């Protein structure tokens, strides 16, 4: 059990470092004890806990920026006996962004549950699993040793599998199995890498490893670096280790897909950034990372251009834009790290927002197939607006933060120089144009053009039928089924009002008109949050430069943890 211990640094907030891990875990246990009862109380618990985690993260960021890394030793025991949690500028910044995003997604999911009248399972499962996922993410960002980092990934994996298979449909179970197998294989490799590192150095504390890796034979250090990079690139969905992502994420409910796409892949990027700067400084594997970045940029965006389903299109753009972040890390310069961190912060918010919007589109337009969608902007201008703004931000249209992040990375590349760097700059520019093309196609087909006449028909919709995405039924077929059953749950509605099956947590058909305000509100808040990165780009850029300075110096982190 983790307990508050003595602080390694006398910063005012060092006693708070463990709270982002402990509070969600405690709340998850409490909610499991409550079960399906007291739904309103459960919602209040989740909201209060995640709001508190966000407040703690803000305090940690201010303190880490002002006083240096904040350190807590679990149980008061210092390494190698105890576990150390560290909140430096990078981990605190990632905590603030992840807490903001998970709070908005939680509010969206509460709105969806209320709109769908989900009173029991799976909502009683979703909330505890979601809180465990948040605890795993926080533990990963705060971990001061490799084994605790491994534990953080395992906590995320456990919660992720539950969330991916929520509803129990065949498609979700199959996608969840693929995700679990890939994650377990990478976990086995991670554990083996931790064992190799411990046998070679006698410690897994990253601050100690920063010193001891310099004394190891080159071959051992390279083996450890390659093993860890393979694991983290799989988590981050770097090509060619991203084949599992486009088939896994789109099958989950909208809030789950949103938080997975926006946040979980960035946990892998965070781990790459942390280990490359602290344990393996320099540019030893930079060429290999640049090749991976190039492949991710090009293969991902070409896959996105070829898609006709909005969820899969966004999933492929996710793989592509991971390439931008890896490019910044591969440069191994202060400007490259700063640009990569800025882009990570921007991308978490924008990608999460877009997948939440897709969940609303699915409710409103029945499907996410662009060939069958149309007229969404006319039917719901608010829905069109919350898609258009983050879509243009993702594409990098000036002066939005997506443009500023890419510009910073390309400028860092020009300063670095080299043939491979210029190839990546050209690939990044082409990727931006193709992203704009793919998203403009999605906008024109799904939102702007007139609705296809076969999509909106008047009929009968079952509002309690169990669904199976393996055999999607056309509206007419559903109407006939409802009419023939003449039984439970059949209601006469105008399908023009909108209906979605896959958007439901429980696999039940839903009837709805305009997007529920309780779901649209958190989505709009995330849109505004993404725009704030443009308005406050100057202070944010200055912060990412200070983060990069701390990462390249290494000394503040090592001194704060070891006291030497």
- Mean predicted lDDT score pLDDT of the chain: 84
pLDDT at 454: 56
> 135-149, 311-325, 344-358, 453-467: which range is least confident on average?
453-467
Q: Answer whether residue 485 shows pLDDT above 60.
A: no
Q: Answer whether residue 482 shows pLDDT above 70.
A: no
pLDDT at 21: 95
Residue 126: domain span: 12-455+513-562
Decide if 495 is inside a domain.
no
pLDDT at 302: 95
pLDDT at 117: 64
Q: Answer whether residue 102 shows pLDDT above 70.
A: yes
Q: Answer whether residue 469 shows pLDDT above 50.
A: no
pLDDT tens digit sequence for 284-305? 888 999 999 999 999 999 999 9
pLDDT tens digit sequence for 175-192? 778 888 888 899 999 999
pLDDT tens digit sequence for 20-53? 999 999 999 888 777 667 778 888 899 999 999 9
pLDDT at 11: 57
Q: Answer whether residue 388 shows pLDDT above 50.
A: yes
Query: If you average pLDDT over residues 245-274, what whole number do you get?
Result: 87
Query: If you average pLDDT over residues 79-90, what whole number do you get?
Result: 87
Decide if 187 is inside a domain.
yes
Among 64, 36, 31, CA closest to 49:
31
Decide if 468 is inside a domain.
no
Start-to-end CA distance of the chain, whole Å, equals 27
Q: Between the CA of residue 235 and those of 271, 406, 427, 543, what are the distances in Å?
A: 9, 22, 23, 26
Among 441, 253, 439, CA closest to 362:
253
pLDDT at 513: 58
Decide if 45 is inside a domain.
yes
pLDDT tens digit sequence for 7-17? 444 555 677 89
Query: If you average pLDDT over residues 234-253, what whole number do you get?
Result: 83
Q: Answer whether residue 218 shows pLDDT above 50.
A: yes
Contacts of 486 (CB under 8 A, 6+ apart): none
Confidence band, pLDDT 50/70/90 cuts, at residue 267: very high
Q: How many domains does the chain have?
A: 1
Q: Answer whether residue 137 shows pLDDT above 70.
A: yes
Q: Answer whether residue 87 shows pLDDT above 50.
A: yes
Confidence band, pLDDT 50/70/90 cuts, at residue 1: very low
Q: Answer whether residue 97 shows pLDDT above 80.
A: yes
Which residue blocks in 202-309 are alpha helix, DSSP H?
206-212, 218-236, 245-248, 254-259, 265-278, 286-306
Among 262, 321, 333, 296, CA closest to 94:
262
pLDDT at 122: 58
Confidence band, pLDDT 50/70/90 cuts, at residue 481: very low
Q: Answer whether residue 487 shows pLDDT above 70.
A: no
Q: Answer whether residue 540 shows pLDDT above 50.
A: yes
Confidence band, pLDDT 50/70/90 cuts, at residue 507: very low
Confidence band, pLDDT 50/70/90 cuts, at residue 472: very low
Q: Answer whether residue 458 shows pLDDT above 70.
A: no
pLDDT at 492: 37
Q: Between the CA of residue 494 and those of 229, 240, 360, what are the distances in Å?
A: 53, 46, 18
Q: Could you write out the three-class secondary structure of 278-345? A: HCCCCCCCHHHHHHHHHHHHHHHHHHHHHCCEHHHHHHHHHHHHHHHHHHHHHHCCHHHHHHHHHHHH
Decide if 484 is inside a domain.
no
> 131-135, 174-178, 278-282: which range is least confident on average?
174-178
Phi, psi of 511 (to 5 degrees): -115, 135
On whether the pTM is more than 0.85, the answer is yes
| Helix 334-365, helix 265-278: angle, nearest 10 | 170
pLDDT at 118: 61
Decide if 241 is inside a domain.
yes
Decide if 470 is inside a domain.
no
């Amino acid at each position: 059990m983790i307990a508050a211990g003595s602080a390694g640094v006398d910063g005012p907030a060092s006693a708070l470092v463990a709270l982002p891990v402990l509070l969600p875990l405690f709340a998850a246990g409490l909610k499991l004890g409550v079960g399906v009862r007291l739904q309103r109380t459960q919602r209040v618990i989740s909201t209060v806990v995640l709001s508190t985690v966000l407040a703690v993260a803000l305090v940690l960021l201010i303190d880490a920026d002002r006083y240096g890394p904040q350190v807590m030793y679990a149980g008061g025991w210092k390494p190698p006996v105890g576990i150390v949690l560290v909140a430096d500028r990078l981990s605190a910044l990632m905590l603030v962004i992840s807490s903001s995003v998970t709070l908005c997604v939680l509010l969206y999911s509460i709105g969806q549950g209320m709109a769908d009248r989900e009173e029991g399972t799976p909502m009683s499962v979703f909330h505890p699993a979601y809180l465990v996922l948040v605890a795993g993410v926080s533990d990963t960002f705060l971990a001061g040793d490799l084994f605790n980092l491994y534990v953080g990934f395992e906590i995320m994996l456990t919660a992720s599998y539950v969330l991916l298979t929520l509803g129990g449909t065949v498609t979700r179970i199959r996608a969840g199995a693929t995700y679990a197998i890939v994650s377990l294989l990478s976990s086995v490799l991670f554990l083996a890498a931790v064992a190799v590192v411990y046998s070679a150095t006698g410690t897994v504390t990253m601050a100690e490893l920063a010193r001891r890796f310099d004394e190891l034979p080159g071959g051992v250090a390279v083996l450890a670096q390659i093993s860890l990079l393979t694991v983290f690139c799989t988590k981050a969905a770097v090509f060619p280790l991203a084949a599992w992502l486009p088939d896994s994420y789109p099958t989950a409910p909208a809030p789950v897909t949103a938080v997975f796409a926006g946040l979980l892949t960035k946990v892998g990027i965070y781990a790459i950034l942390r280990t490359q700067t602290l344990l393996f400084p320099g540019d030893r594997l930079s060429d290999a990372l640049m090749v991976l970045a190039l492949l991710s940029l090009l293969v991902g965006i070409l896959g996105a251009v070829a898609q006709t389903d909005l969820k899969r299109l966004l999933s492929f753009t996710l793989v592509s834009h991971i390439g931008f972040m890896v490019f910044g890390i591969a440069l191994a310069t202060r400007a490259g790290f700063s640009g990569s961190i800025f882009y990570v912060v921007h991308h978490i918010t924008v990608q999460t927002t877009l997948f939440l919007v897709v969940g609303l589109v699915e409710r409103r337009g029945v499907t996410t197939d662009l060939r069958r969608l149309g007229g969404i902007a006319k039917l719901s201008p608010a829905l069109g607006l919350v898609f258009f703004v983050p879509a243009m931000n993702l594409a990098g249209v000036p002066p939005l933060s997506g443009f500023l992040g890419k510009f910073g990375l390309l400028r860092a590349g020009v300063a670095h120089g080299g043939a491979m760097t210029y190839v990546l700059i050209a690939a990044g520019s082409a990727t931006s144009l193709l992203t704009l093309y793919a998203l403009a196609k999605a906008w024109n087909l799904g939102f702007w053009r007139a609705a296809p006449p076969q999509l909106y028909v008047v009929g009968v919709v079952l509002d309690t039928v169990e669904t199976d995405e393996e055999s999607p039924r056309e509206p007419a077929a559903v109407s006939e089924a409802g009419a023939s059953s003449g039984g439970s749950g059949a209601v006469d509605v105008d399908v023009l009002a909108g209906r979605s099956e896959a958007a439901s947590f429980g696999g039940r058909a839903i009837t709805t008109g305009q997007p529920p305000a309780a779901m649209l509100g958190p989505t709009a808040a995330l849109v505004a949050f993404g725009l704030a990165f443009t308005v406050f780009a100057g202070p944010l850029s200055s912060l990412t430069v200070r983060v990069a300075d701390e990462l390249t110096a290494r000394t503040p982190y090592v001194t704060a943890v070891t006291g030497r």
